[in-house]
Structure 1
């Protein structure tokens, strides 16, 4: 062994022990638990008065009241239906447009510049226009959610399709595979990480757009409950509605995480 290599230590691979499911869930629950305890302490000590925000116990009583008289189940059904229909329309439109502009040059030249211009328009600015076009019925609310969720899916799909392995695409063409077959068997599986990222953004935006949509003179849904609670200064009911919107967002993120584990199981090994 030469003098230059004396004293050197052979590198050893660092092996991380996999975290247990219980450990992961405990760490994830710490943040919400700290917020809940702080809320309870502030309410108990009087630092947070009921006219500002109801206590956790008051919010639980409001949940029991709203569930008992049927208002909360009806509002949940209405809001979830609006959000689900708008999200389905938006995801379908974004996926089709993204494949069209990402996979075909003609589609890119015809559509991309117009779609990028529309994407820069805040969807909240469309509320007055939608009220003029569609009135204050369900169509305006569903379409507002659809518009909000279309563009994240479009951008993610178009980017993922453009980054598909061109050599593999050309190889499939040389074997005589049709364009729809190439998209289905080659392009979309390769773009799966981008598609799931777009899905996550779209599902999150569907909740934000739902809040905005239910401000359009809603007569049912979580937004209607919030408007009624505001009229009567019911901070407990307002807190319930805000928490419901938060749970919607959490469930949306959880659904995408489950899809990632199912569709891309190899990514689990790369987590740190």
Structure 2
């Protein structure tokens, strides 16, 4: 990665830093009540206390494990279903309609049902993350496969490529930008689903830590939990963007030549 790339990445953090600075100044001037919205300095002290007593690292590792498991499952299932549905008409007839019906169901409302089916262990939490992340991956990859330029397929037929070679060398590279876009959306929804999952019969995780803080009216701990969720979402998004930069280098180079 070039220095220009890192400079662009650094600039993206300027506006959040400016917002935090304005927040701190407003708190110091008494414009914002510390009971309603603690200052960034106070939140930093709370964050350090949670790190020192080990509660934040422990709960963070649990939350990361749930997201990684649910998202990995969604990635494998979503890509598999999109390939089957996108590459054949019978596959689309069998797979797409049930998924579209399932997509319209409110995933958050399924939480009580998952608890009845799978108990209060890790399964319902991981499944909620999986269900939330599945549809962006499936829909975007399916769209990418279906929108492949017909001229490219014609070239593949002219070169007498087999179906497997056409899928590997033409369809999958052409649909990769859409898949990566779906992965970005899926990560955002995965963190959202995790917030809900960890506030329903959870005994650990960032969401559980926030629920305990609510019982003791600890607004600062709740805000720290929200900030951690936000930072995790931002970091995961930047990782996917870095993957785009690497995987789609051919596309970037082509646009520069044009």
The answer to whether the aligner puts 1:109 opposite 2:99 as a matched pair is no
Cα drift, residue 41 of structure 1 = 1.5
Question: Match for residue 132 of structure 2?
Answer: 148
Question: Which aligned pairs between 1:51-130 and structure 2 lie closer than 5 A?
Answer: 51-130=35-114
In the alignment, structure 1 residue 184 sits paired with structure 2 residue 137:
no
Stretches of structure 1 lacking an aligned partner (at least 5 in a row): 1-18
For residues 241-264 of structure 1, what are the alpha-carbon distances to aligned partners after superposition, in whole Å with 9 as ceiling and x for unaligned? 010000011011101110111011
Structure 2 CA distance for aligned equivalents of residues 35 and 188 of structure 1: 41
* Separation of aligned partners in 1, 2:10 and 2:173: 34
Counterpart of 2:19 in structure 1 is 35
Query: CA deviation digits over 1:176-224, x for unaligned, max 9?
Result: 7554443233211110111111111111111111111111111111011
Q: Which is worse superposed, 21-30 or 239-248?
A: 21-30
Cα RMSD for the two superposed structures: 2.2
Q: Distance in 2 between matches of 1:163 and 1:245?
A: 35
In structure 2, what is the equivalent of residue 253 of structure 1?
237
Paired residue secondary structure (1:43): helix
What TM-score comes out, normalization by structure 1 length?
A: 0.86
* 1:69–1:256 distance in 2 versus 1, CA, 3 Å: same
Instruction: Flag structure 2 segments of 5+ consecutive residues without an equivalent.
Output: none
In 1: Cα distance, 2:208 partner to 2:96 partner = 37
Q: 1:204 aligns with which of 177, 188, 205?
A: 188
**CA–CA separation in structure 2 for the residues paired with 1:78 and 1:181:** 41
Q: 1:149 to 1:25 in 2, by over 3 A?
A: closer
Relative to structure 1, the CA distance from residue 187 to residue 225 in structure 2 (aligned partners, 3 Å threshold; closer, same or farther) is same
Shift of residue 24 of structure 1? 3.1
Judge conservation of contact 1:261–1:267 (CA < 8 Å) in 2.
Answer: no
Mapped to 1, the partners of 2:88 and 2:191 lie a distance apart of: 32
Shift of 1:163: 1.6
In the alignment of these two chains, the number of paired residues is: 253
CA distance in 2, matches of 1:147, 1:181: 32
Superposed CA deviations along residues 62-104 of structure 1, whole A, max 9, x for unmatched, are 1111111111111110000000100001111111111111101
Cα distance change of structure 1 residues 98 and 26 upon mapping to structure 2, 3 Å threshold:
closer
Indicate the structure with greater helix content: 2
CA contact (8 A) 1:51 1:233 kept: no
Matched, 1:45 2:22: no
1:214 and 2:214 matched = no
